[in-house]
Structure 1
Amino acid sequence: MAQQMITNFNGILLFRRDYRERDMLIKFLTAEYGKKMFFIRGARRRGFKMAAELLPFTMGEYVGDLRDGLSFINSVKSVQYFENISQDIALNAYATYVMNLLDVAYPDNQPVGRWYQQLTSALQLIDQNVAPALVANVVEIQMLGAFGVAPELRGCTVCGRTDLPFDFSESYGGLLCQQHWHLDPHRLRASQAAIFYLRQFSVLDLAKVHSIKVKPNTAAELRRILDEIYNNSVGLRLKSKRFIDQMGSWYQPLKPRDED
């Protein structure tokens, strides 16, 4: 992209930050150019004309002056609000977490490929209260490659077999079939149900999802596996994740429809 360009763009508002006395910095994930930081002059003044269009948990089509440094928004063409996320503390927490993950995983001003659509779908599902914890799991699993940790989930990392029970080995960077479990005494000893969903979630297109149903015990085990990977292999402990842990809602669906 050129150093300066006035153009239409589609964006998901990732976060806002007060800047100076009356201004604001807003980071968008754009479909076309990746993450970009925008300087919004006068955004904190009473009567600011774009105040409603630049609220947290919004996405839309904008016209802006896009630059390699701070960019600027000229006008808003259309906007979509994630109203349930805005009003529900638990949904808010999951939405914030998946957006934080993407923000940390990718540098600014670089295209993020399919992640604009995948994040859009994730936020839409969370806003509809469709298994928010499991949607977050999908994002976590698929985001591992961006953090330089891409576990082998297609088959056994040693022999490639796909016809035996699996377990997850951090030491071997993915699955071990039953024939090679002895190679890693510290394997995670995951259930076959948890391994099944770990593999399924790694390739799931959230745009095609209308519901996700996983038994509570399996969901808790998925959470344990992903915590191990993110703590030990990625080394990432986001505040938004700690808040979810404090809520205690990782292990219990928000509504009965999320259960089998």
Structure 2
Amino acid sequence: MLRNVEGIVLRSMDYGEGNKIISLFTSELGKVSVMARGAKKLKSRHAAATQVFTYADFVFYKQHGQMGSLNQADIIEAHHLLREDLNMSAYSAYLVEMTDRMHGDEEGSTYMFEQLKAGLQAIEDKKDMQIVVHLFEMKMLELAGYLPITDCCVSCGSASDLQSFSPGMGGVLCINCKFKDPFAALAAPGTLKLLKLFPRMDMRRLGAIQVKEETKVQLKTCMKAYMDHHIGIKWKSRGFIEQMEKYNI
């Protein structure tokens, strides 16, 4: 069957002498693998469209249970800058790695496709990359069914005097319940405000948000601990980001 869909390249792998296998994320078909014959050759008409982060209109032939074969690709957004800038590339890689590893094959989601598309564009538009990543992490947690409780105490239900964030208990804790998890991370009012806002925020409406450095440090601690506790995946791209931060790259 001939399919015509908009997609974003999550992975691009060399195959044989001149071919590539690309993993696409689409709104209609979800994640799908496609063979791009001859795409490794410099003069190939598919070379540019098979690069990671590329957003394009793909036409491919696919039979049930088999890998697709690329016929045509018209680039909508090449995202050259995301590949050329090391920091942008690292944060963008984390978005596509989350999408790739947390979606099953042919598991479609129009909403998540739009969130990924908007997230990559936000990074290219020089919006705060850390905030973009945390917002996308929250979308991934929602998809997996592990969205934290952030608008009231996960233990007693109180909406006042919230002070900490507990990955193990699944959300924020108030001053009276924080003793129930001695490993809960400190969360100041600014941090709690963003944790509460993220589940309701659409990436497509993300503006030029300004966040204090101490708030970003707390957010990173909370989100990293929560992702590790509930998802348990060793993210290669996140590890690279942490190495860059460690050596001030």
Q: Same fold (TM over 0.5)?
A: yes
Task: Indicate if the aligned counterparts of 2:62 and 2:69 stay in contact, CA closer than 8 A.
Answer: yes
One of 109, 114, 117 as aligned partner of 1:117: 114
One of 83, 88, 92 as aligned partner of 1:91: 88
1:234 aligns with 2:235: no
Residue 162 (structure 1) aligns with: 159
Task: Indicate if the aligned counterparts of 1:53 and 1:79 stay in contact, CA closer than 8 A.
Answer: no
1:215 aligns with 2:212: yes
Deviation of 1:30 after TM superposition, in Å, equals 0.8
3-state secondary structure, aligned to 1:17: strand
Residue 69 (structure 2) aligns with: 72
Distance of 1:171 and 1:52 partners within structure 2: 44
Distance of 1:162 and 1:219 partners within structure 2: 23
Residue 49 (structure 1) aligns with: 45
> For residues 212 and 12 of structure 1, do their structure 2 counterparts lie closer, same or farther at Cα, with a shift above 3 Å needed?
same
Distance of 2:243 and 2:201 partners within structure 1: 28
> For residues 92 and 215 of structure 1, do their structure 2 counterparts lie closer, same or farther at Cα, with a shift above 3 Å needed?
same
One of 187, 190, 195 as aligned partner of 1:193: 190
Residue 182 (structure 1) aligns with: 179
One of 199, 202, 205 as aligned partner of 2:199: 202
Residue 56 (structure 2) aligns with: 60
Task: Indicate if the aligned counterparts of 1:62 and 1:73 stay in contact, CA closer than 8 A.
Answer: yes
Task: Indicate if the aligned counterparts of 2:34 and 2:60 stay in contact, CA closer than 8 A.
Answer: no
Residue 258 (structure 1) aligns with: none
Task: Indicate if the aligned counterparts of 2:162 and 2:172 stay in contact, CA closer than 8 A.
Answer: no
Deviation of 1:138 after TM superposition, in Å, equals 0.7
> For residues 75 and 249 of structure 1, do their structure 2 counterparts lie closer, same or farther at Cα, with a shift above 3 Å needed?
farther
3-state secondary structure, aligned to 1:120: helix
Unmatched tracts of structure 1, length 5 or more: 255-260
Task: Indicate if the aligned counterparts of 2:186 and 2:218 stay in contact, CA closer than 8 A.
Answer: no
With the length of structure 2 as denominator, give the TM-score of the two structures: 0.92
Aligned-CA RMSD value:
2.0
Q: Could you list the per-position Cα deviations for residues 173-198 of structure 1 after superposition, in whole angstroms to 9, with x for gaps in the alignment?
A: 11222232232222222222212111
Task: Indicate if the aligned counterparts of 1:157 and 1:173 stay in contact, CA closer than 8 A.
Answer: yes
With the length of structure 1 as denominator, give the TM-score of the two structures: 0.88
Unmatched tracts of structure 2, length 5 or more: none
